[in-house]
Amino acid sequence: MNNIWLKIIILSLIYIDVYATSLQQELQRHWQQPLATQGEPPSDLTSLETSLEPKDCATCHPTQFKDWSQSLHSHAMGAGMIGQLVDMQAHATKQHQACIRCHAPLQEQAVSLVNSLLGNSSTNLHQQGVICAACHIREYKWYGPHKNGQPTANDMQKLPHNGWQSTPIFKDAQFCSVCHQFKPEEYSLNGKLLENTYEEWKASRYATENKTCQDCHMPDRRHLWRGIHDPDMVKQGVEIKNTDFKQLYNIITAKLTIKNTGTGHYFPTYVTPKVIIEGYQEDKNEKLLPETKQQYIISRKVAMNLSKELADTRLAPDEKVTFDYNAKRHPEATSFILNVQVEPDAFYTKFYQITLKNGSAKKGKKLLQEALEQSQQSNFSIYFRKQSLR
Least confident segment among 6-20, 67-81, 113-127: 6-20
Average pLDDT over residues 203-219: 96
Query: Are the C-beta atoms of 195 and 36 separated by less than 8 Å?
Result: no
What percent of the chain stands above pLDDT 70?
A: 92
List, in order of start, the domains of the chain with CATH numbers: 31-171 (no CATH), 231-348+374-388 (2.60.40.10)
User: Given this model, what pLDDT does residue 149 score?
Assistant: 60
Average pLDDT over residues 34-50: 93
Please tell me the distance from the alpha carbon of residue 268 to that of residue 347, in angstroms, as a whole number: 13
User: Given this model, what pLDDT does residue 8 score?
Assistant: 53
pLDDT digits (tens, 9 = 90+) for 232-272: 999 999 999 988 899 988 999 999 999 999 999 999 999 99
User: Given this model, what pLDDT does residue 100 score?
Assistant: 96
User: Given this model, what pLDDT does residue 146 score?
Assistant: 87
User: Given this model, what pLDDT does residue 152 score?
Assistant: 55
Comparing CA positions, the residue from 163, 88, 158 lying closest to residue 118 is 88
pLDDT digits (tens, 9 = 90+) for 150-202: 555 555 556 788 888 899 999 999 999 999 999 999 999 999 999 999 999 99
Least confident segment among 71-85, 139-153, 304-318: 139-153
Query: Are the C-beta atoms of 16 and 23 separated by less than 8 Å?
Result: no
Average pLDDT over residues 319-327: 97
What percent of the chain stands above pLDDT 90?
A: 85
Average pLDDT over residues 307-317: 97
User: Given this model, what pLDDT does residue 14 score?
Assistant: 47
Q: Counting beta carbons within 10 angstroms of the beta carbon of residue 149, is it exposed (0 to 12), middle (13 to 18) or buried (19 or more)?
A: exposed
Count of CB atoms within 10 A of residue 182's CB?
18
Residue 7 pLDDT exceeds 70:
no
Least confident segment among 14-28, 177-191, 297-311, 361-375: 14-28
Residue 10 pLDDT exceeds 70:
no
Query: CB under 8 Å, gap of 24 or more: what pairs does 110-115 form?
Result: 110/34, 111/37, 113/85, 114/90
Residues 6+ apart with CB under 8 A from 256: 240, 241, 242, 243, 277, 279, 322, 323, 325, 338, 340, 383
Average pLDDT over residues 129-152: 87
User: Given this model, what pLDDT does residue 16 score?
Assistant: 46
Please tell me the distance from the alpha carbon of residue 74 to that of residue 124, in angstroms, as a whole number: 13
Q: Which amino acid is it at 291? A: E
User: Given this model, what pLDDT does residue 13 score?
Assistant: 43
Please tell me the distance from the alpha carbon of residue 284 to that of residue 333, in angstroms, as a whole number: 7
Average pLDDT over residues 317-326: 97
